[in-house]
Amino acid sequence: MKKYALVTGGSRGIGAAIASQLAADGYHVIINYRSNAEAAKETLQAIEAAGGEGELLPFDVTEEHTVDEALEQWEERHPDEYISVLVNNAGVRSDNLMVFMETEQWNRVMGASLNGFFFVTRRLLKNMITHRNGRIVNIASLSGLKGLPGQSNYSAAKAAMIGAMKALAQEVALRKVTVNAVAPGFIHSDMTKDLNEAELKKTVPMHRFGEPQEVADLVSFLVSPKASYITGQTISINGGLY
Ligand code: NAP
């Protein structure tokens, strides 16, 4: 039976590396994105060129009804199948000191990481529970563990994601669904290209930013049978930066 993995924000950056790795691991990968169809098509083409398979499923994770509609339609097209792996990777940054932070910035960042996690996970959980098989990985952040100045919105969203992950892990443990988080430090992607890498990498004990593939390898492990007794955990991947 075909195994399906959904990666939200799978079109670019860390999500694209995760989607490619899961395809290489033998999953049919469902690549979600919000608006950049070009990047999503390129990611899918690269997967197919490498002998993997996948499909595109655009929806905005912040919109409850859009999420439900897209996943309902997917389920109608695949009446006998279900998505057993979910990687909640979609996220955005909108940094500002709190004193200047607009409500819109707060809501946008919370919407993508926290509400997105809730809407997509709630929808896919039912099938995982029924089949007694599931793997959920949330892409959190070092920012959600230690807090970073200028990122009160982002730190809050990622910390909340980790809290929800711990609660959910206990709710579904008996049903053989594991729920974990990954907390990357600085990783090369569009999200970090405006940062002063030369300065920031000095703060990392390994003196470099990480690569999306390094995060993808960790996610690949967490969704594999080798990680069957790991649940409710946050695994940092940050070159030693705390
Ligand atoms: P990125 O290169 O900016 O890519 C973000 C991805 O999320 C894109 O595929 C984007 O889709 C998608 N996305 C954003 N908002 C969405 C929405 N509302 N609905 C659906 N998809 C949406 O970011 P990245 O660096 O790869 O980050 C991936 C995840 O890792 C994020 O959760 C981020 O917070 C986390 N993270 C990143 C770092 C880092 O250093 N890069 C560190 C820690 C944690 P479109 O292409 O359509 O815009």
**pLDDT(1) > 90:** no
Q: Whose alpha carbon is nearest atom 9 of ligand 1?
A: 9
CA–CA separation, 240 and 178 (whole Å): 26
For residue 172, the Cα-to-chain-centroid distance in whole angstroms is 19
The answer to whether the beta carbons of residues 237 and 182 sit under 8 Å apart is yes
Q: Which residues 6+ apart lie within 8 Å of 239 measured at CB?
A: 185, 186, 204, 205, 206, 207, 208, 209, 210
Tell me the pLDDT tens digit for each residue of 171-197.
Answer: 999 999 999 999 999 999 999 999 999
**Average pLDDT, stretch 107-129?**
98
> Which residues are near ligand 1 (CB < 6 Å)?
8-9, 11-15, 32-36, 39, 60-62, 89-92, 112-113, 139, 141, 184, 186-187, 189-192
Quote the ligand 1 centre to 192 CA distance (angstroms): 10
Tell me the pLDDT tens digit for each residue of 144-153.
Answer: 999 999 999 9
The share of the chain scoring above pLDDT 90, in percent, equals 99
pLDDT at 210: 98
**pLDDT(62) > 90:** yes
| Active-site pick, 4, 27, 33, 154 | 154
**Which atom, in ligand 1's list, is nearest to the CA of 210?**
40
Average pLDDT, the chain: 98
Q: How confident is the model at residue 51 (pLDDT cuts 50, 70, 90)?
A: very high
Tell me the pLDDT tens digit for each residue of 191-236.
Answer: 999 999 999 999 999 999 999 999 999 999 999 999 999 999 999 9
Tell me the pLDDT tens digit for each residue of 124-133.
Answer: 999 999 999 9
Q: Describe the strand order of the beta sheet including 53-56 as a list of residue ranges.
A: 53-56, 28-31, 4-7, 83-88, 134-139, 177-184, 234-237
pLDDT at 83: 98
Backbone Cα Rg of the chain: 17
**pLDDT(117) > 90:** yes
Tell me the pLDDT tens digit for each residue of 80-93.
Answer: 999 999 999 999 99
- Tokens representing 42 are 């390129």
The answer to whether the beta carbons of residues 190 and 12 sit under 8 Å apart is yes
**pLDDT(242) > 90:** no
Q: Whose alpha carbon is nearest atom 33 of ligand 1?
A: 91
pTM of the predicted protein model: 0.98
Q: Are strands 134-139 and 53-56 parallel, antiparallel or unpaired?
A: unpaired
pLDDT at 94: 98
CA–CA separation, 208 and 77 (whole Å): 44
Of 21, 31, 34, the one to substitute when testing ligand 1's pocket (max ligand atoms within 8 A of C-beta) is 34
The answer to whether the beta carbons of residues 9 and 90 sit under 8 Å apart is yes
Answer yes or no: 4 catalytic: no
Of 20, 59, 63, 92, the one to substitute when testing ligand 1's pocket (max ligand atoms within 8 A of C-beta) is 92
Of 191, 194, 209, the one to substitute when testing ligand 1's pocket (max ligand atoms within 8 A of C-beta) is 191
- Nearest alpha carbon to residue 54 among 44, 67, 41: 44
